[in-house]
């Protein structure tokens, strides 16, 4: 079993939580993050690791729309570089790759296509399509996704604006469940996995419902920001069959924890 793991994007939100999670399971971690001066594009000391978890990316629709060339470099070209190392790779993709209708989704879609290209030639790349991740260490410090934005507004007694009518539904998965899915993928040694795995809970929650779960949070509908697809929910059929993955935490539990 692979025990020496290189994590790209190790200083980021998921990387920070994942390294602690894997260390608790006896893994040794190599940290690679552009913010710390270790750019995966030029990293050469990868031969000593058993496997790679490739998390490094420019996340989110708006950041990629604002910086499309950077998004292509970080989300596509760096992924290709990591895949070319010839190591077992767990690649962090996104539910957005299912409907590549914006720059971010297109870069993740292309990353998945490249993973398939390498797999067809003997590679060992497991693609995990993450849903909307929340909770864990540094979540509110490092993330500005919808739950983080709403929670920070709730804590600061500020009103939030919801883009569109708030009926768009999403699947929200706790970062510890994501870490467990990555660990299971690292330890999997069965037949080759070609199709991407969805990572989530399989449960739909509308953006309006997220706001209403935070009792006392004031919100208004009709914001003009990017809405994205109307529904994006993980299908856990394949990952349950192959990796025996079962999410344990719910958004309601996280909000209940915040109230304490």
CA-CA distances (angstroms) from residue 122 to 84, 125, 141, 239, 254?
Answer: 11, 10, 40, 21, 41
Query: What is the pLDDT, as a whole number, of residue 153?
Result: 96
The crossing angle, in degrees rounded to 10, of helices 13-23 and 175-187 is 60
Measured at the CA of 24, the angle between CA 174 and CA 203, to 5 degrees, comes to 15
Summarize the chain as % helix, strand, coil (round to 5). Answer: 40, 20, 40
State which residues form the domain around 235.
4-259
Length, in residues, of the chain: 260
Cβ within 8 Å of residue 205, ≥6 positions away? 169, 170, 171, 172, 251
**Structure tokens that stand for 189 in this block:** 């040694």
Domain of 19, CATH number, reads 3.40.50.720
Cβ within 8 Å of residue 3, ≥6 positions away? 26, 27, 28, 50
DSSP assignment letter at 96: G
- Cβ neighbourhood burial of 127 (10 Å; 0-12, 13-18, 19+): buried
For the chain, the domain total comes to: 1
**pLDDT, mean of each 10-residue run, the chain (260 residues):** 90 97 97 95 95 95 93 97 97 95 96 96 96 96 94 96 94 98 94 87 97 95 80 95 95 87
């Amino acid at each position: 079993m692979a025990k020496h793991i290189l994590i790209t994007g190790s200083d980021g939100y998921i990387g920070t939580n994942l390294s602690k999670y894997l260390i608790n399971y006896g893994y040794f971690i190599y940290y690679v993050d552009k913010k710390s001066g270790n750019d995966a594009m030029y990293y050469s000391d990868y031969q000593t690791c058993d496997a790679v978890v490739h998390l490094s990316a420019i996340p989110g629709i708006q950041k990629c729309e604002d910086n499309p060339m950077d998004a292509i470099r970080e989300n596509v070209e760096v992924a290709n570089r990591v895949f070319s190392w010839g190591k077992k790779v767990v690649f962090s993709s996104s539910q957005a790759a299912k409907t590549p209708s914006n720059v971010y989704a297109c870069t993740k879609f292309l990353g998945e296509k490249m993973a398939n290209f390498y797999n067809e030639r003997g590679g060992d790349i497991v693609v995990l399509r993450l849903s909307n991740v929340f909770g864990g260490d540094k979540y509110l410090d490092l993330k500005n996704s919808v739950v983080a934005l709403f929670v920070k507004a709730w804590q600061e007694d500020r009103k939030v604006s919801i883009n569109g009518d708030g009926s768009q539904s999403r699947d929200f998965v706790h970062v510890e469940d994501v870490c467990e899915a990555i660990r299971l993928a690292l330890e999997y040694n069965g037949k080759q996995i070609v199709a991407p795995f969805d990572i989530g809970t399989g449960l739909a929650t509308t953006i309006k419902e997220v706001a209403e779960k935070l009792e006392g949070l004031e919100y208004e509908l009709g914001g003009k920001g990017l809405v994205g697809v109307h529904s994006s929910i993980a299908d856990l059929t394949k990952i349950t069959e192959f990796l025996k993955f079962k999410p344990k935490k719910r958004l309601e539990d996280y909000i209940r924890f915040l109230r304490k």
